[in-house]
Amino acid sequence: MDEQGLGPIKGPFQRARLHMRGGKRRLRQGKISAGIVTLYDALEGAMRSYSADPARLRTLTIKEGEDLNDDKALYAALVRSGVLDGKFDFAAFDRLTERALNQEMANYDYGVLLSEIESIMTQLGVMPFDENELPPEDPATF
């Protein structure tokens, strides 16, 4: 996928969908750490896509000096603005992702996390989607 070619809204949006599919597949395959990291990237893409839309950006409540290129700040702005319900502990997810980057977490029970991520993706308009409308997965992908 040429994310840059799709533009600042559609590119990260498509990445969010592709990485939701890939993240869930990795989790099902027992590649828990890789799945968690992929879900983080899906969430980051969804938030970037949402905030790249000038009309949506104008509706966000942004604090002075707040850097929306920082995932934590962007998530906070989306919650503060009522786009997201704020039930998800983004800071805990960020720490979990750091842990997943450094070690395999084969015994981690990801059920609640996946449900929470899917809820956020629904709130951001990324889900639901028909996986058949996505490009086919490359079997060589990890």
In-domain check, residue 28:
yes
In-domain check, residue 110:
yes
Give the range of the structural domain holding residue 110, as residue numbers without chain letter.
3-125
Is the pLDDT at 136 greater than 90? The verdict is no
Distance spanning both ends of the chain, measured CA to CA: 16
Q: What is the DSSP letter of 86?
A: S
Question: Tell me, what's the pLDDT at 139?
Answer: 62
What mean pLDDT do residues 15-22 have? Answer: 94
Question: Tell me, what's the pLDDT at 131?
Answer: 79
In-domain check, residue 12:
yes
Q: Residue ranges of the alpha helices (H) in 29-89?
A: 32-52, 54-59, 71-80
Question: Tell me, what's the pLDDT at 130?
Answer: 76
In-domain check, residue 140:
no
Q: How many CA atoms lie within 13 A of 22 on its CB side?
A: 24
Report the chain's mean pLDDT, rounded to a whole number: 92
pTM over the 0.95 mark? no
In-domain check, residue 20:
yes
Q: How far is CA 133 from CA 2, 87, 91, 99, 112, in A?
A: 16, 30, 32, 33, 27
Is the pLDDT at 3 greater than 70? The verdict is no
In-domain check, residue 131:
no
**Domains of the chain: total:** 1
In-domain check, residue 137:
no
